[in-house]
């Protein structure tokens, strides 16, 4: 559709006439080499037909104006938060991003603090767990009209962009690894039930047990809250079983570290008497003894991807291009260290 005579043509008009996306037009106009020659020709023909000329002053302003990104968080583990902030700061320095960091509490207080952050002239907002799973806060952010990116959310809202890993697949791979080492009774410490990733990790553990012959015993699955204290309670429960597990897979490194601490107090050798594995690969995984076998969730890289995603959306808005949400999946890695080993063969019980 041609623009009407009362206004100058813009990039969207060029895209429509050329039959391509506005982003493709932007890439051609900025000399990017990733666009095919035939597509470049279509864009050039549309530019000529419409007599389109980008406004140099507007492009300069759009390129130089800082992008204000809000980061709202609530009670993640200290190790997770440190990794997340590292990723945010790395990308902020590269993309002319100003970070506004706000911690929030619970319930109405969280909504009040979220609204205060949104009222500070933001261009976009990032929500990590557990806030990414809280519908009232997600609704508030979406309704504000600024781009939203949720990170590490098991079931992200379709109205928001998301950066995540395959939570189910990661837990499945770790459980399969333990079964391949020879473990059959594998304890599992769940994550916070209010976070959607917890259910996915539990489902991955259970699926691997079914597929590879591990024991699906209800007493081997115990609750946790993603914090060290809950890991201590979970370890006490699992290791008090008459037929205790030979391996325990905790849903994050904080709880896995607590399991190791309880094992040491009970004079169990890790990994000789008990294999312990975690999830996340935070700095804690390398600071305890023995160092944890864990799933590396690239937290810093996920935070970097969230900033990059917001930058793309904000730049699209400033260039009057239609924005679209993105669903980005980042790869995970199973990291083997010193806390896992094949199960020690126990002598049969003696008859008296």
Mean pLDDT, residues 28-43 taken together: 65
| pLDDT of 53 strictly over 50 | yes
| pLDDT of 314 strictly over 70 | yes
Class of CATH domain 67-165+299-332: alpha beta
User: Bridge partners of 280?
Assistant: 296
Domain pair 67-165+299-332 / 167-297, same fold: yes
Q: Name the DSSP letter for residue 349.
A: P
Query: Whole-angstrom Cα distance, residue 285 to residue 29?
Result: 47
Which band of pLDDT confidence, cut at 50, 70 and 90, is reported for residue 338?
A: very high
pLDDT at 134: 87
| pLDDT of 5 strictly over 60 | no
Q: Which CATH superfamily is domain 167-297 in?
A: Response regulator (3.40.50.2300)
Average pLDDT, the chain: 85
pLDDT at 187: 98
DSSP states along 255-307: HHHHHHHHHHHTT--TTTT-EEEEEE--THHHHSSSPPEEEE--HHHHHHHHH
- Spatial strand order of the sheet with 67-73 comes to 97-103, 67-73, 124-127, 148-151, 161-164, 327-329
Q: Which CATH superfamily is domain 11-54 in?
A: lambda repressor-like DNA-binding domains (1.10.260.40)
Using a 10 angstrom Cβ sphere, with 0-12 exposed, 13-18 middle and 19 or more buried, the burial of residue 169 is: middle
pLDDT at 290: 97
Query: Whole-angstrom Cα distance, residue 69 to residue 311?
Result: 9
Look up tokens 């730049």; give the residue: 315
Could you tell me the CA-to-CA distances from 311 to 101, 151, 165, 175, 315 in Å, in that order? 17, 15, 21, 37, 6
Q: Which of 20-24, 57-61, 152-156 has the highest mean pLDDT?
A: 152-156
pLDDT at 52: 63
Could you tell me the CA-to-CA distances from 131 to 88, 104, 124, 169, 187 in Å, in that order? 17, 9, 15, 23, 28
Number of neighbouring beta carbons within 10 Å of residue 263: 21
Residue 266 structure tokens: 């009970």
Residue 52 structure tokens: 């389109």
Q: Which residue has better confidence, 4 or 85?
A: 85
CA dihedral (299, 304, 309, 313) positive or negative: positive
Query: Whole-angstrom Cα distance, residue 76 to residue 62?
Result: 34
Could you tell me the CA-to-CA distances from 210 to 185, 220, 223, 251 in Å, in that order? 13, 14, 21, 19
- Each residue's pLDDT tens digit, 150-195: 998 888 788 899 999 999 999 999 999 999 999 999 999 999 998 9
Could you tell me the CA-to-CA distances from 51 to 8, 17, 29, 43, 316 in Å, in that order? 9, 12, 14, 12, 22
- Spatial strand order of the sheet with 333-335 comes to 221-222, 186-189, 247-250, 275-280, 293-296, 333-335
Mean pLDDT, residues 60-67 taken together: 62
Q: Which residue has better confidence, 84 or 235?
A: 235
Per residue, what are the HEC states of 57-123? HHHHHHHHCCEEEEEEECCCCHHHHHHHHHHHHHHHHHCCEEEEEEECCCHHHHHHHHHHHHCCCCC
Mean pLDDT, residues 98-126 taken together: 85
Number of neighbouring beta carbons within 10 Å of residue 154: 21
Phi, psi of 158 (to 5 degrees): -65, -15
Which band of pLDDT confidence, cut at 50, 70 and 90, is reported for residue 3?
A: very low
Measure CA 27 to chain center: 28
| pLDDT of 80 strictly over 90 | no
pLDDT at 323: 66
Cβ–Cβ under 8 Å, residues 266 and 239: yes
Task: List the domain boundaries for the chain.
Answer: 11-54, 67-165+299-332, 167-297
pLDDT at 253: 95
Among 194-208, 220-234, 312-326, whose mean pLDDT is lowest?
312-326
Report the run of H or E that residue 150 belongs to, with start and end: strand 148-151
Residue 256 structure tokens: 């896995």
């Amino acid at each position: 559709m041609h623009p009407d005579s009362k206004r100058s043509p813009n990039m969207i008009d060029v895209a429509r006439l050329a039959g391509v996306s506005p982003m493709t037009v932007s890439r051609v106009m900025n000399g990017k080499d990733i666009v095919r020659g035939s597509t470049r020709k279509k864009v050039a023909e549309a530019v000529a037909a419409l007599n389109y000329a980008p406004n140099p002053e507007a492009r300069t302003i759009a390129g130089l104006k800082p992008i204000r990104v809000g980061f709202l968080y609530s009670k993640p583990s200290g190790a997770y938060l440190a990794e997340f902030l590292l990723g945010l700061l790395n990308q902020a320095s590269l993309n002319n991003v100003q970070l506004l960091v706000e911690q929030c509490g619970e319930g109405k207080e969280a909504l009040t603090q979220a609204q205060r952050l949104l009222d500070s002239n933001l261009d976009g907002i990032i929500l990590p767990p557990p806030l990414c799973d809280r519908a009232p806060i997600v609704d508030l952010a979406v309704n504000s009209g600024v781009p939203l990116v949720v990170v590490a959310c098991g079931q992200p809202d379709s109205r928001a962009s998301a950066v995540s890993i395959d939570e189910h697949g990661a837990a499945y791979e770790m459980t399969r690894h333990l079964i391949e080492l020879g473990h059959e009774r594998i304890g599992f410490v769940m994550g916070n039930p209010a976070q959607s990733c917890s259910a996915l990790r539990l489902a991955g553990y259970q699926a691997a047990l079914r597929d590879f012959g591990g024991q699906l015993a209800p007493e081997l699955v115990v609750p946790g809250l993603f914090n060290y204290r809950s890991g201590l309670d979970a370890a006490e429960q699992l290791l008090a079983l008459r037929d205790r597990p030979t391996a325990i897979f905790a849903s994050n490194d904080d709880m896995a570290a607590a399991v190791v601490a309880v094992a040491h107090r009970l004079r169990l050798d890790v990994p000789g008497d008990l294999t312990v594995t975690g999830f996340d690969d935070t700095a804690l995984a390398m600071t305890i003894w023995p160092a944890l076998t864990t799933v590396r969730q690239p937290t810093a890289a996920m935070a970097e991807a969230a900033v990059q995603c917001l930058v793309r959306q904000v730049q699209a808005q400033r260039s009057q291009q239609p924005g679209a949400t993105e669903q980005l999946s980042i790869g995970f890695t199973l990291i083997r260290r010193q806390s896992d080993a094949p199960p020690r063969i126990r002598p049969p019980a003696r008859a008296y």
